[in-house]
A and B are shown apart, each in its own frame.
Chain A
Amino acid sequence: MLAVVGTIPDPGVPVTEGPAHGTPQGLAVGGLTVAPDRGTPALLGAAGAACASLGLPAPFAFLVGDVGLGHGSRALYRHLTDVLPGRHFSTMVFHYLMPDVMWHDKVLFAVEAMARRPRLIADAGFMYAAKMSGQAASYDLFTPDAGELAFLADETAPHPFYTRGFILHEDNHVPDLIARAYEHENAAATLLVKGGTDVIADATGVLFTVDGPCEAALEAMGGTGDTVAGMAAALMESGRSAPEAAHMAARANRLAGRLARPNPGSRIAEIIARIPEALDMVLNSPG
């Protein structure tokens, strides 16, 4: 089963877990209903839509409220270290969480204690923590955007906010930044770099690029990176390799964007609604 770990922007929500089912009101998880509008709920919504298309069970969610103070994230980290060694998941995604190296390492130890190690995906804050901890290579997939790739490529930066200008500069080529990230062991086994052209790479270099269909507005939309990560997770859960899953997810995300006809002010729910159709097109036309 696929598990998704992240936060929602409501400080009153305690650690909540359970399968995430789509309802007309939003995603229902253990008595909680959340709108898949951005952040982890968007990833969860996309993962759920993709799992349904692929004939997989609904993703299992670990959620907590956190508005940036870190209290919720740390409560969830504590919960994960307690329960994960006794759980069975085949793929796990860690997402919007307060980057905290100590707790990152504790959670990773708990994952290593599981009877069968799941494949691991990190995005957003947990990817920052994975890089800072020096444990990036323990992950199967990272899904950075261009700014986050620069952060991974900068071996000194503790957060994208401190990425050095000569690395962040837009004239830098994505393949060079990818190579630099691997050189310093700050990348997962596979990278899906989200951007004008999506790039899937590993330590040997660029494996695939996806540049069509092109919907420039997707870059400005909050949540499009979350939907591609959610789909990649579902595709990995279906048994595909991380590079193949990332490649298919990048194509499907663009197709869903094209079908939704977005502008820079569009909402992510419009994209999620198109995922079944888009994924179907990708499954039926191997790239």
Chain B
Amino acid sequence: MIVGILDRFRRKDPGPASASQADRGLLLFENTSEVIRAEKTLRQAGFAIKVVGPPPEVRTGCDLAVEFPLIEGLHIRRRLEAAGVPPLEAIPVAGPLLTPVDLFQIKDFGEHLMVRAANMKLTVEKATGVIVNVSGGGCPDVPYLAARLIGKKLDEAPSPRETGHTLCGYALGLAFEEMIKRCSPS
């Protein structure tokens, strides 16, 4: 049966993603057995996923990938790591070669420091290391994460990568880690 699926996808050129696929991503794995385990894990957790053929430019040797709701990538990745099947990569269907933002923008307010990663901003009081604000973002975990971060010291606050669920949570996690790096004694 797996061979049949492989044949079907080998014949297809995925072509450009349609608008309906714009919020979908692909999880890439080392081998087919991992894909099957990942599929089972995510289906049991209730995620809207399906097994597809990856586009040629991102093939890793495994001819299957798991299509998933891209925005929920942080939560999904955590589930797979807990199940022992972490993906090699998670990429957007709309642009398989797109990479996560790696550009940080820093603003120094004197007593406060703000770090922006993509659409997320984190602000810390320099003297105390206390997180005073979280702004930006649009996914529903942002207000949830803000409530858990604000008022806590950087070294006591829960990492947004551990408590967030979406790409906004992931971006906030990057800002959080960059802030820790900048506030650590060198």
Contacts and interface: CB of A to CB of B under 8 A. Distances in A.
Interface of A: 7-9, 37-40, 66-70, 72-73, 96-102, 105, 123-129, 132-134, 145, 147-148, 151, 156-165, 168-170, 216-217, 219-225, 263-265
A126 to B, nearest CB: 8
B109 A39 contact: no
Interface in B101-136: 101-103, 105, 107, 109, 111-112, 114, 116, 118-121, 123, 125, 132-136
Contact of A97 (B20, B94, B140): B140
B34 interface: no
A37 to B, nearest CB: 8
13 contacts: A40-B143, A98-B140, A99-B71, A99-B139, A124-B139, A133-B20, A156-B98, A162-B99, A165-B102, A170-B105, A220-B112, A225-B135, A264-B111
A158 B94 contact: yes
Contacts of B164: 68
Contact of B140 (A9, A127, A163): A9
A234 B92 CA distance: 36
B94 to A, nearest CB: 5
Interface residues of B, number: 58
A222 B118 CA distance: 15
B146 interface: yes
Interface stretch (B57-65, B81-89, B166-174, B178-186): B166-174
B95 A133 contact: no
B56 interface: no
A127 B119 CA distance: 13
Contacts of B98: 156-158, 162, 164
Contacts of A162: 92, 95, 98-101, 167
Task: Determine which residue in B101, B103, B125, B169 has the highest number of CB atoms from chain A within 10 A of its CB, and name it.
Answer: B101
B75 interface: yes
A260 B95 CA distance: 44
